[in-house]
C-alpha cells in the first residue's frame, strides 16, 4: 500500500549537509505498524515525508501504486492519507466541532461530533463549542487530534506519538480507539511510539535511528531485542550500582 523507494531527506547544517533520512527503503502492507527508535532518529521526519509536509531530497513515495512524491498535502489527504500531529495546532475562533466536521468532510450533527469526542475520553458536551485555542491543554488537544483522525477514517493514518501528553487517560482506551479505526477503515495505521504497550500490539515494528532502518520485523521478534538493548542494560546497571551504594 505504501512504499518508500530510496527516500532521503537532507538539510543544511553547520557542518554541511545532514541526512535526516538516509536512503530508506520500506514497503508497508500490514494493518498496524509501529515505528520506534531514539529521539532525533528521523521518525517524525519520515511521517512528514509521507504526508507531504516535507519533500524528499531523493527517492520516491508510492501510495496504492501511485507516485505521490510530487503531490501536495491536500492531494495526499484526498487520496486517503491522514496525519495526526505530535504537537497539535491551535487556532483562534475555530471550534472543536468545526475541526471534527472539517475532518469528516461532511455535515455532522452535534451527536455525531459528540460520538467522536466520547471515543477519545472527552466529555463531549463540555468540548463541542470550545475554541481550539490556548485554553485547551496539550492532552486535550492530543485527544481532539485523535478524534479528527477517527472522523477522517482514511485508508492510511499516521500517528506521531499519540500517547504523549495523555498519561491520565488509560492506554486501554487509546488502544481500543486504534482497534476501532482498524475495523472501521479496513486500512492501515502507522504509529510512531515509544510505548511498550503500543509496540506490543503492532503487527510489525520498524526501528529508525540516525535516519536509517536499524531493525524491522514482526512485533514479537523485534520487541524483545528492543527491551534488551545496550542502552536499556546500561541504565539498569547504573541504577543498580546506585542502589547498591546506598
Partner 1 sequence: MALDKMQMNLLKTIADLEKVPDGAFNLRLDGGLAMRNNTENITIETKQDKPGIDIYIKAGTKNERVDIPVIVSKTGLKDLVYNDFYIGEGADVLIVAGCGIHNDGSEKSEHDGIHAFHLAKNARVKYVEKHYGEGEGTGERILNPTTEVDIAEGGYLEMETAQIKGVDSTKRVTRAVLGDKATLIIHEKIMTHGKQSAETDFAVDMNGFDCGAHVVSRSVAKDNSHQHFTSLINGNNQCNGHTECDAIIMDNAGVTADPKLTANHVDASLIHEAAIGKIAGEQLIKLMSLGLSEKEAEEQIINGFLK
136 contributes a contact to partner 1 by CB under 8 A: no
43 contributes a contact to partner 1 by CB under 8 A: no
Identify the residue among 36, 44, 45, 82 touching partner 1 (CB under 8 A): 82
Provide the minimum distance between the beta carbon of 148 and partner 1 in the complex, in angstroms, as a whole number: 7
Cβ proximity to partner 1, 152 vs 204, nearer residue:
152
152 contributes a contact to partner 1 by CB under 8 A: yes
Cβ proximity to partner 1, 117 vs 148, nearer residue:
148
Cβ proximity to partner 1, 47 vs 199, nearer residue:
47
93 contributes a contact to partner 1 by CB under 8 A: yes
Cβ proximity to partner 1, 43 vs 204, nearer residue:
43
Residue in the block written with cell 531493525? 215
Residue in the block written with cell 509521507? 50
Identify the residue among 11, 40, 55, 105 touching partner 1 (CB under 8 A): 105
Residues in contact with partner 1 by the rule CB under 8 A: 51, 53, 72-74, 77-78, 82-83, 85, 88-89, 91-95, 98-99, 102-103, 105, 148, 152
Amino acid at each position: 500500500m505504501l512504499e518508500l523507494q530510496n527516500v532521503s531527506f537532507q538539510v543544511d547544517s553547520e557542518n554541511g549537509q545532514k541526512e535526516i533520512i538516509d536512503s530508506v527503503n520500506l514497503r508497508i502492507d500490514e494493518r498496524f505498524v509501529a515505528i520506534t527508535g531514539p529521539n532525533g532518529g528521523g521518525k517524525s521526519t519520515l511521517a512528514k515525508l509521507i504526508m507531504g509536509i516535507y519533500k524528499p531530497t531523493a527517492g520516491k513515495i508510492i501510495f496504492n501504486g501511485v507516485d505521490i512524491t510530487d503531490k501536495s498535502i491536500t492531494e495526499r489527504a484526498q487520496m486517503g492519507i491522514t496525519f495526526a500531529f505530535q504537537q497539535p495546532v491551535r487556532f483562534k475562533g475555530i471550534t472543536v466541532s468545526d475541526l471534527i466536521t472539517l475532518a469528516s468532510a461532511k455535515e455532522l450533527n452535534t451527536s455525531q461530533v459528540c460520538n467522536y469526542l466520547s471515543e477519545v475520553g472527552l466529555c463531549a458536551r463540555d468540548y463541542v463549542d470550545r475554541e481550539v485555542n490556548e485554553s485547551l491543554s496539550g492532552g486535550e488537544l492530543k485527544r481532539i487530534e485523535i478524534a479528527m483522525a477517527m472522523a477522517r477514517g482514511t485508508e492510511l493514518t499516521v500517528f506521531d506519538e499519540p500517547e504523549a501528553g495523555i498519561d491520565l487517560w488509560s492506554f486501554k482506551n487509546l488502544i481500543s480507539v486504534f482497534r476501532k479505526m482498524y475495523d472501521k477503515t479496513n486500512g492501515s495505521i502507522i504509529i510512531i511510539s515509544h510505548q511498550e504497550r503500543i509496540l506490543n500490539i503492532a503487527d510489525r515494528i520498524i526501528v529508525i535511528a540516525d535516519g536509517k532502518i536499524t531493525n524491522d520485523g514482526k512485533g514479537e521478534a523485534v520487541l524483545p531485542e528492543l527491551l534488551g538493548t545496550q542502552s536499556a542494560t546500561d541504565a539498569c546497571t547504573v541504577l543498580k550500582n546506585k542502589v547498591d551504594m546506598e
